[in-house]
Amino acid sequence: MAEVRARVDFKVGANSSIDAELLSFHGLKTEKEHVAVIFKHADQTQQSPLVRMHSECLTGDVFHSSRCDCGEQLDETINRMGESGGIILYLRQEGRGIGLYNKIDAYKLQSEGMNTYEANNHLGFGDDLRDFTEAAQMLEALGIKKIRLVTNNPKKVNDLKSYGIEIEQVVNTSAHVKEGNEGYLKAKRSHGKHNLDL
């Protein structure tokens, strides 16, 4: 059974002005070091907190890559939760689960004309290798069984439901279109069935 390992207060956001708490865990399914960020404005008695499962994206989250919308989605969520409260489950599942080096290989194939799913498939991987079991374990360790999920991705909704988490509401993020990611977003909408208004 997963349990909270440690908690520490810190500030997040572009100006490091949003109060939050960083949590680590032990007893998760794998050795990956997933963390939760709990925003201080969250009502602790709230029965259905706002939650986003955000898979690590070094290129997008840190370097604001032109190829994806991950960093923008994370920033949007931090700002939203800074105002209304919520929880980000930051999951170490780079490149939809294929890892950083393989994702860079996939980027090369995308530069040659493949879309993000075709590139992963060409490298021998499935469309999406992410496993959200540990996200459900993290929520259970926090005593949370019902949430409002911030996502455009139906896989996340279906996976969490299959692990016994009740989804009271799905809250979409904006479509963060920029030069270089139009094809990526179109593939997510057409192939991954993401709810994106492009």
The tens digit of pLDDT for each residue in 151-161 reads: 999 999 999 99
Q: Determine which one of 61, 67, 69, 130 is catalytic.
A: 130
- Region 115-131 average pLDDT: 92
> What average pLDDT score do residues 137-149 get?
94
- Please identify which of the residues 80, 128, 189, 197 carries the catalytic annotation: 128
Task: Note the pLDDT tens digit of each residue in 47-87.
Answer: 789 999 999 999 999 999 888 888 899 999 999 999 889 99
Q: What percent of the chain has pLDDT over 90?
A: 63
Supply the pLDDT for residue 42: 53
Using CA atoms, how far apart are residues 76 and 13, in angstroms rounded to an integer?
10
Q: Which pLDDT score is estimated for 46?
A: 63
**In whole angstroms, what is the distance from residue 182 CA to residue 187 CA?**
9
Contact partners, residue 45, CB within 8 Å, separation at least 6:
none
The pLDDT-based confidence of 45 (bands split at 50, 70, 90) is: very low
For residue 105, indicate whether it is catalytic. Answer: no
Question: Do β-strands 146-150 and 166-171 pair in parallel, antiparallel, or remain unpaired?
Answer: parallel
- The full set of domains in the chain, from first to last, is 3-93+130-191 (3.40.50.10990)
Q: Where are the alpha helices (DSSP H) in the chain?
A: 70-84, 94-97, 100-111, 116-122, 133-141, 154-162, 182-190
User: Is 7 labeled as ligand-binding?
Assistant: no
**Annotated catalytic, 5?**
no
Task: Return the pLDDT at 61.
Answer: 93
**156 appears as a binding residue in the annotation:** yes
pLDDT at 197: 73
